[in-house]
Structure 1
Amino acid sequence: MDVTWTTWAVTILVLCALIAVDFFIGGRKPHEVSIKEAGIWSAVWVALAVLFGLGLLLFGDTKSSGEFFAGYITEKSLSVDNLFVFVLIMAKFSVPAIYQQRVLMIGVLIALVLRAGFIAAGAAIISQFSWVFFIFGAFLIWTAWKLIEEARADETDEEFEENRFLKMVEKRFPSTDQYHGTRLTIVENGRRLMTPMLIVMLAIGTTDVLFALDSIPAIFGLTQDPYIVFTANAFALMGLRQLYFLIGGLLKKLVHLSYGLSVILGFIGVKLVLHALHETGVHVPVISTPVSLGVICGVLVVTTVTSLMAARKQSAQAADGADPQEEDSDVAAR
């Protein structure tokens, strides 16, 4: 897809305008986000992504539109995994409920800027060295296997571990343990101090970089168009704040999410390897965008259904196991 600098500029300006509208309507005043509010804004961002994809179909071509939807759905599904870590970060820094939406908004903006750098670097490398697809493919297949191992071992991090950048910031810049509204810094005894609000925003933004290490190669496995890669990431990330409040309570029920994501990453890894072989002149089958989109959607549907069924079964077993104890307690009380 041939994208002019004017199109890039207009796209970025429109995204900035949408972010500004989101902030001034729903994010300017600190408050606890209700399920209704989160649901409405989530629907708005999904609708905007769908309209953008249809716009690519009307003014671009079918291939570009299909690649955008495949990339958007992939990034959206991978971003759900981010929410688990966001919950841990909020708990570690004891972020008050009324400030969580502000933290997520600024943190996601930081993540978007950092991802833009990753995308630019990835596009430049791919344009010069086609063999990098072998590395991306192998990395995604390895990541998929690690996800399966973690899921089978039931290894869930109960605490958030700060990355090196965050530790360096906290070490070099003095901070306070108290929140002061939405202020990022305060002056205390003549010294400028960071508030926990600024630290947690940096934690959200920089932690997302770790997730970008697999999500960016994954979307480059679906399309090599930097414009589609960027816009798919932008729409997926900008709806992440509302998704946090909408399905925060359902995260623990998505018990098979890691398996689904591992299948998706493994599939895209194989697709990348096949593409790399094809580029080197080896006659191998090439996986088309419609097939990729079908596999990704199918895996997500199956994963969601089986997760909810497993969660319901666990709840039923827990309820059955609690009844005898309640009866024994009643007998003992009598």
Structure 2
Amino acid sequence: MLPAATPSLDLDPWVWWVTIGIAVAVLVFDVIWIARNPHRPSNKETGIALTIYIGAAILFGLGMWYFAGGQLAGEFFAGWLTEYSLSVDNLFIFLLIMAKFAVPEKLQQFALMIGIIIAIVLRGLFIWLGAAAINNFSWVFYIFGAFLIYTAIKLAREGESDDEEYEENRFMKAVERFFPATQAYHGTKMFIIENGKRLATPLFFVIVALGTTDLLFALDSIPAIYGLTREPYIVLVANLFALMGLRQLYFLLGGLLTKLVYLSLGLAVLLAFIGVKLLLHALHENELPFINGGEHVLVPEIPIWMSLGAIVVILGTTTVASLWKTRKDERERIAGGPTGS
């Protein structure tokens, strides 16, 4: 349960720096290699990379189980699965961004890589702010819980809509007004000099759109994972593993994403579940004077094993139901049924 009975990680600073150093090294290697070899990765290439990232995440979780115990390992696996599933939802928006800006296939991998790096840096800031807020203000769990339930309702309503159109956020609109631009792509260059003027290429706006869009998603995902663990290190590593494999997942899934028709509804249920878990925890740790006279409220809390089980069931059911619906619609379309008329 969170938080008092939960074992905590007492890590030396070098563990943080080694973790961040490995992540930076992997990202720098990826950026340099992709910049020198812009191309659309093959299924074999993406499959191998995803296997490595997923395998590394599983090994990390098992290592945590061995060194830190099952409770913290369970928190990592629950957090990683949640972040990964929310990241898959990001891919729908990424596809729309790529289509809106007509990004050439060979440049999409580079744009994704830089966008993901921006997202990692911004999420790192969010993780630090979230940890500081939780450590100093227990009532922040009320805000996190209510926000996740609100987001779940909004996501469920959007999931019922067939409108799939990318809408630029205000920051993106401001960026496009501020920077003089050229309409043509120039390889992996984000800026060029033309007639003595410095111009931004469309790739620059694509990368900004990817990074800022993921930041908006982080407003949901960071409170969600803090509903599963209070360890900033676990939050950081779970986000790193989820985001590092996102580029490969984009190319491997591609059109398959359209078959996950119930993904938004599944994620809505998942966020609502975590939101309720956060509210129960907030009541359990209550210090607000206008609730129960500032005393803790005796409510049941959801243990991590139940959270992990719920996450697996929700995501598994969402995937199976989505594939069943897609195949059913396809059969009806071929047979000239309702969806084909």
Give the equivalent residue in structure 2 for 1:263. 269
Please give the secondary structure, in 2, of the residue aligned with 1:147: helix
Give yes or no for the alignment of 1:135 onto 2:143: yes
Give the equivalent residue in structure 1 for 2:56. 48
Equivalenced residue count is: 321
Whole-Å separation in 1 of the counterparts to 2:282 and 2:308: 20
Give yes or no for the alignment of 1:305 onto 2:320: yes
Give yes or no for the alignment of 1:98 onto 2:113: no
**Residue type of the partner of 2:330?**
S
Give the equivalent residue in structure 1 for 2:182. 176
The alpha-carbon deviation at position 173 of structure 1 amounts to 1.6
Whole-Å separation in 2 of the counterparts to 1:73 and 1:123: 20
Whole-Å separation in 1 of the counterparts to 2:70 and 2:82: 18
Give the equivalent residue in structure 1 for 2:291. none
The alpha-carbon deviation at position 56 of structure 1 amounts to 1.5
Give the equivalent residue in structure 1 for 2:297. 282
The alpha-carbon deviation at position 62 of structure 1 amounts to 1.9
Whole-Å separation in 2 of the counterparts to 1:38 and 1:99: 16
Whole-Å separation in 2 of the counterparts to 1:286 and 1:21: 43
Give yes or no for the alignment of 1:232 onto 2:234: no
The alpha-carbon deviation at position 22 of structure 1 amounts to 3.7
Whole-Å separation in 2 of the counterparts to 1:168 and 1:108: 21
Does structure 2 conserve the Cα–Cα contact (< 8 Å) formed by 1:107 and 1:205? yes
Whole-Å separation in 2 of the counterparts to 1:65 and 1:18: 24
Counterpart selection for 1:157 from 159, 164, 186? 164
Give yes or no for the alignment of 1:31 onto 2:46: no
Could you tell me which runs of 5 or more consecutive residues in structure 2 were left unpaired when the two chains were aligned. Answer: 1-8, 287-295
Please give the secondary structure, in 1, of the residue aligned with 2:206: helix
**Residue type of the partner of 1:3?**
L
Please give the secondary structure, in 1, of the residue aligned with 2:336: helix
The alpha-carbon deviation at position 103 of structure 1 amounts to 0.4
The range that moved more, 279-288 or 18-27, is 18-27
Please give the secondary structure, in 2, of the residue aligned with 1:246: helix
Whole-Å separation in 2 of the counterparts to 1:155 and 1:320: 23
Give yes or no for the alignment of 1:293 onto 2:299: no
Q: 1:129 to 1:251 in 2, by over 3 A?
A: same
Give the equivalent residue in structure 1 for 2:173. 167
Does structure 2 conserve the Cα–Cα contact (< 8 Å) formed by 1:173 and 1:194? yes
**Residue type of the partner of 1:119?**
I
The alpha-carbon deviation at position 12 of structure 1 amounts to 0.3
The alpha-carbon deviation at position 6 of structure 1 amounts to 1.2
Q: 1:27 to 1:293 in 2, by over 3 A?
A: farther
Give the equivalent residue in structure 1 for 2:219. 213
Give yes or no for the alignment of 1:272 onto 2:278: yes
Q: Write out the 4+ residue segments of structure 1 that deviate beyond 6 Å after TM superposition.
A: none
Cα deviation, 1:111-157, whole Å, max 9, x if unaligned, reads 110111111111111111101101111111111111222223x2433
The alpha-carbon deviation at position 23 of structure 1 amounts to 4.1
Give the equivalent residue in structure 2 for 1:125. 133
The range that moved more, 57-66 or 76-85, is 57-66
Give the equivalent residue in structure 2 for 1:193. 199
Give the equivalent residue in structure 1 for 2:4. none
The alpha-carbon deviation at position 168 of structure 1 amounts to 1.6
Give the equivalent residue in structure 1 for 2:292. none
The alpha-carbon deviation at position 15 of structure 1 amounts to 1.2
Give the equivalent residue in structure 1 for 2:155. 147
**Residue type of the partner of 1:293?**
L
Q: 1:299 to 1:69 in 2, by over 3 A?
A: same
Does structure 2 conserve the Cα–Cα contact (< 8 Å) formed by 1:27 and 1:101? no
The alpha-carbon deviation at position 60 of structure 1 amounts to 2.1
Give yes or no for the alignment of 1:223 onto 2:229: yes
Cα deviation, 1:156-198, whole Å, max 9, x if unaligned, reads 332x222222222221121111001111110001111111111
More helix by percentage: 1
Could you tell me which runs of 5 or more consecutive residues in structure 1 were left unpaired when the two chains were aligned. Answer: 326-334
The range that moved more, 173-182 or 50-59, is 50-59
